[in-house]
Amino acid sequence: MTDASRMIAPVRRPSWLPTGLIRLVDTPLNATLTLLVAAVLVWAVPPLARWAVFDAAVLPATPETCRAAAGACWSFVIAKHSQILFGIYPLDERWRPALVCLGLLALLAWSVRPSAWRPRLGVIWLVMLLAIQILMGGGVLGLTPVPTAEWGGLPVTLILTVVAIGGGFPLAVLLALGRRSDLPAIRTLCTVFVEATRALPLLSILFIASIMLPLMVPEALLPDKLMRALIALLLFAAAYMAEVIRGGLQAVPKGQYEAAAALGLGYWRTQRLVVLPQAIAISIPALTNTIIVMIKNTSLVLVVGLFDLISSGKAALADPAWSSPAIETYVFISAIYFVLCFGFGRFAEAMERRNKASRP
Amino acid sequence: MALADLVMARTPPSTRRASAWLLQGLAVAAALGALALVAVTTLENLRARGLPLGLDFLVERAGFSVAETVLPFSPEDIALWAIAVGVVNTLFVSAIVCVGSTGLGLLLGIARLSENPLVARLAQVWVEGVRNTPPILLLIFIYTLWSQALPPEAVLQLGPATLTMRGLTVPALNAAGQATLTPELATILLGLTLYTTGFVAEIVRGGIQSVPRGQWEAARALGLGYAQTLHLVIIPQTLRAILPPMTSQYINIVKNSTLALAVGYTDFLTIMGTLINTSSHAVEGTLIIVAVYLAINLSISAALNLYNRRVALRER
């Protein structure tokens, strides 16, 4: 072997070392970075681990356990998890909101599979919404009535998300079609609505809905607090989803429209049979992003006095028997949001991959 | 099958045009009708409650105090000035968060692509963390941390700066001889910056990955090092790809600055809320809220579009 060929040949690495480990130290820059990061980790991780694990109070879940421990008070989260998750919903009836949460999550997971996109999906959604109303509100089938003022926690978060997404979707499709319409008046109306909604912070929309609706709507038709927030979230979700679907519509090749016209299909049949199925399939990954954003956005309803996950956590903290371990409670709530959003994102990604793989 | 289908498919063009006009006329009439209904109901409700419409309240004494402002403000000032003070507070927070998260996001985006697995993993934890939790929770969390970590009497000396429960005090050249960063302002600045940085990092990562591999190889062939390659070759090309998504991030920052409400920093929306409560001019207040956010966000997108046109590739 000549000297020249040795220079070009890659440096031989011991084959038993994974490349990841070698990359930690293979250049001066990487070695410095590794040292820096390791120093930060050594400084930060032990005290955190002591607080969260070794010095933490866990069982029995009583205030005394927490007072005796120097670290995190997980006993509080264990003792209060039901109140944080379901708010002030009557104790004996909490299986109902729990069932609603599971149902809503299943519905979301079911709906992001492209193969679920058939007309019967709309029927499934309507049945689900009816079931939620019956389960949460009661009053029929021998269930104790529970007014919306007593709904709280995770079910409120999920109901707001899922109903805003599901109800906003048909509106979003119409808005997206309207924005691409040849009819100038309809195009303008849709564009103004979508752009104005997207330029306003959600908090201001919720705020306006809570102060303006009582003025704008006749007293008899005035929706309750939950409905007001729901209407605001629904319109907000519709505007964002409309933009996503518009992107999908733009990605459908022009030949598809022309082919549909050649077959003699009218506008609505072209959209329904040819264009929308393709456009929506293209937009599903972006739509799942919007769903994750909406899950996070519902946390803002606490500002207009609705009892979502964060407010029910705050309410649980008000118990004077405990030393109000706020950090632990917020870590618990963050973990719930993280599992919901991250899990949903990963699930949708897997669906997308499977869908791609199965396509010829 | 929709009626419109029948009309559209089986009729001569002139009738089709007429039906298109009919459809538009109906849509406009429906929109105007709904608007008129809302207007009539609102006016009726206002009259029933004895609330007059008008903008006179804007030049009356505001009558409320604001804890923390960039511009000087007292309850004796007029309401219009209170609104201006709120707008400046919102712009102040947004501007600092924009600058902070752009710089940090650039670093984090590069770190996310680092060959060093430790660095790349940590960056990924940050990005996934903020993308999957609500920003309001992050703000409440930081605010709680601040008040729990610092007992009221504790004083931390950080060089020339002093950290206490009441804020971070930095000796400066203003009237009082020092500037105090209150926990509220510090929380909204820190929280929004940490949050937005995660999103900027993803945009930067996407931008860097959109630069063709050949550019890296060409830079290496020229003998440029990693930092030089990034600085001279990759980043300038990345800029074109990331400007449009960055524009929407900047608009998001302005929108997210309303979360100041959750930690008690007074922004524009909070001031409008107070003003509407004290003056009972809900309709006018609402219109002002809409107008101000539209103006801020449309200006941002117009300014960045102008800049975008300047850096865009001119293909001949």
For residues B231, B237, B239, B240, the Cα torsion angle rounded to the nearest 10 degrees is 170
Is the same domain home to A214 and A95? yes
| Mutation site for B-interface testing, chosen from A45, A174, A190, A203 by largest number of B Cβ within 10 Å | A203
Instruction: Work out the minimum CA distance from B175 to partner chain A, whole angstroms.
Output: 35
Contact B134 A342 (CB under 8 A): no
Give dist(CA B220, CA B212) in Å, integer: 13
Residues B205-237 have pLDDT tens digits of 888 888 888 888 899 899 888 888 888 888 888
C-alpha B71: how far from chain center: 20
Contact B1 A20 (CB under 8 A): no
Same domain, A127 and A241: yes
| B134 shares contact with chain A (CB less than 8 Å) | yes
Taking CA–CA distances from B21, the nearest residue in chain A reads A183
**What are the chain A neighbours of B263 within 8 Å (beta carbons)?**
none
Whether A9 and A136 map to the same domain: the answer is: no
Query: Best interface-test mutation with A: which of B19, B132, B226 has the largest number of A CBs within 10 A?
Result: B132
* CA B205 to mean position of chain CA atoms: 21
Statement to judge: residues A229 and A281 lie in one domain: yes
Are B170 and B181 in contact, with CB atoms under 8 Å apart?
yes
Residue B167: its H or E element: strand B167-171
Shared-domain flag, residues A38 and A121: no
φ and ψ at residue A222, rounded to 5 degrees? -65, 120
CB contact under 8 A, B46 and A30: no
Q: Are residues A94 and A148 in the same domain?
A: yes
Is the Cβ pair A23, B116 closer than 8 Å?
Answer: yes
pLDDT string in tens for chain A (360-residue length): 334 444 444 445 555 666 667 777 777 777 788 888 888 888 888 878 777 777 777 777 677 777 777 777 777 777 778 788 887 777 777 788 888 888 888 888 787 776 777 777 788 888 888 888 888 777 777 777 777 777 778 888 888 888 888 888 889 999 998 888 888 888 888 888 888 888 889 988 888 888 887 777 776 677 777 888 888 899 999 999 998 888 888 888 888 888 888 888 888 888 888 888 888 888 887 888 888 888 888 888 887 777 888 888 888 887 777 777 888 888 888 988 998 888 888 888 887 777 776 654
Closest-CA distance, A99 to chain B, in angstroms, reads 24
Residues A200 and A249 in one domain: yes
Q: Give the nearest chain B residue to A269 (CA atoms).
A: B5
Query: Bridge-partner residues for B169, per DSSP?
Result: B162, B180
Query: For chain A, how many structural domains are there in total?
Result: 2
Question: What is the CATH classification number for the domain harbouring A260?
Answer: 1.10.3720.10
- A34 shares its domain with A84: no
ipTM value, please give it. Answer: 0.80
Query: Cβ contact (<8 Å) for B23 and A186?
Result: yes
Residue A115 CB neighbours (<10 A): 10
Are B5 and A267 within 8 A, CB to CB?
A: yes
Tell me how long chain B is. 316
Q: Which range of residues forms the domain containing residue A346?
A: 74-358
Going from N- to C-terminal start, the domains of chain B cover: 60-151+189-292
Contact across the interface for A199 and B298, Cβ inside 8 Å: yes
pLDDT of residue A61: 67
Residue of B nearest to A264 (CA): B9
Residues of B in contact with A341 (CB under 8 A): 131-133
Q: Which of A183, A201, A207 lies closest to B273 in CB terms?
A: A207
Nearest chain B CA: its distance from A142 CA (Å): 38
- Does the pLDDT of residue B110 top 90, yes or no? no
Total Cβ atoms within 10 A of residue A68: 9
CB-CB under 8 Å, B144 with A330: yes
Angle between helices A225-251 and A202-216 (to 10 degrees): 120
Q: How many CB atoms lie within 10 A of CB B262?
A: 22
Judged by a CB distance cut-off of 8 A, whether residue B215 touches chain A is no
Which residues in chain B have Cβ-Cβ distances shorter than 8 Å to A257? none
CATH of B60-151+189-292, one of 3.40.190.10, 3.30.365.10, 1.10.3720.10, 3.30.70.100: 1.10.3720.10
Residue A30 sits in the same domain as residue A88: no
* Residues of chain A contacting B194 with CB distance shorter than 8 Å: none
Report if pTM > 0.95. no
